[in-house]
Structure 1
Amino acid sequence: MKDYKKYYHISASPQDIYAAITNPATIQLWTGEAAEMSTEVGSEFSLWEGSIVGRNLEFDEGKKIVQQWYFDGQEEQSIVTIKLHPDKHGTSVELRHINIPDEAYNDIVEGWNNVYFGSIAEFYEGF
């Protein structure tokens, strides 16, 4: 199991980034795919036609999201914590993803950088 931590800088407010991660309509705008998402603690979510699935554990509106991501056959919980910090250029996003299965690590890191936060950054650059 591996852990990953990284900061991303996105030219949008923490509220906008929070909506991009938690609002199904906004998620669909930057992913191009329908999403199942709710800000109800304990609700399950699905992104990219089920490529990413899990359970929502904690929300602090505009500031923090904590999720459990599911991996087949994994006993330990893989936890994603996203903290949103306002800065003078928009938002500093602090990502921490723990207990990533070794065999999935490289794909997960690439996904965070290029698909997930890369797509959100590109989406907000257009405004």
Structure 2
Amino acid sequence: MEFTLKTNIKATAKQIYKSWLSTQGHTKMTGGTAFVSDKIGDSFTVWDGYIKGENLELEPYHKIVQSWRSTNFEAQEEDSKIEIIFNEKDGETELTLTHSNVPESGEHYIKGWDEHYFTPMKSYFEFLK
């Protein structure tokens, strides 16, 4: 299964990119404890260990590609992959998230991205202004 989500956030691509790949920034913008890195090949955990993965490809302020799995994945299921593209215009950033290789039981992740990422991120960056 694969899906693509888009949202607009009132922040620069640089602000969002740096927050996504910083332990303190990721924790603050989502509200869940995160341990992340901005280095390719480094692993991460977010949402209090519910999600883990590895940085596969990083293009500063433009693109993040990570392997991704939650504790709901079955042992035999391979990691899924997220690709986030940042497209900044007029002081806000369109964030396009493509989540691929999602287990068939992963329909709920669509709602999860909105509730646990996009909504708190919008509030966080609005508050920073």
Is the TM value for this pair above 0.5? yes
Alignment check: 8 A CA contact 1:20 1:120 kept: no
Q: Aligned ranges for residues 98-109 of structure 1 at < 5 Å?
A: 98-106=100-108, 108-109=109-110
Matched position secondary structure for 1:8: strand
Deviation track 1:20-41 (CA, whole Å, cap 9, x = no partner) reads 2111111122233431111111
Question: Equivalents in 2 of 1:73, 1:49: separation in Å?
Answer: 19
TM-score relative to the length of structure 2 = 0.89
Identity %: 30
Instruction: Single out whichever of 66-75 and 50-59 deviates more from structure 2.
Output: 66-75
Question: Equivalents in 2 of 1:75, 1:32: separation in Å?
Answer: 27
Matched position secondary structure for 2:117: helix
2:116 matches 1:121: no
- Number of aligned pairs? 125
**Counterpart position of 2:94:** 92
Question: Equivalents in 2 of 1:54, 1:89: separation in Å?
Answer: 30
Question: Equivalents in 2 of 1:52, 1:76: separation in Å?
Answer: 14
**Counterpart position of 2:55:** 56
Tell me which amino acid in the other structure corresponds to 1:36.
Answer: F
Q: 1:74 to 1:92 in 2, by over 3 A?
A: farther
2:30 matches 1:4: no
Question: Equivalents in 1 of 2:30, 2:83: separation in Å?
Answer: 20
Question: Equivalents in 1 of 2:5, 2:30: separation in Å?
Answer: 21
Query: Which structure 1 segments of 5+ residues have no match?
Result: none
Alignment check: 8 A CA contact 1:22 1:38 kept: yes
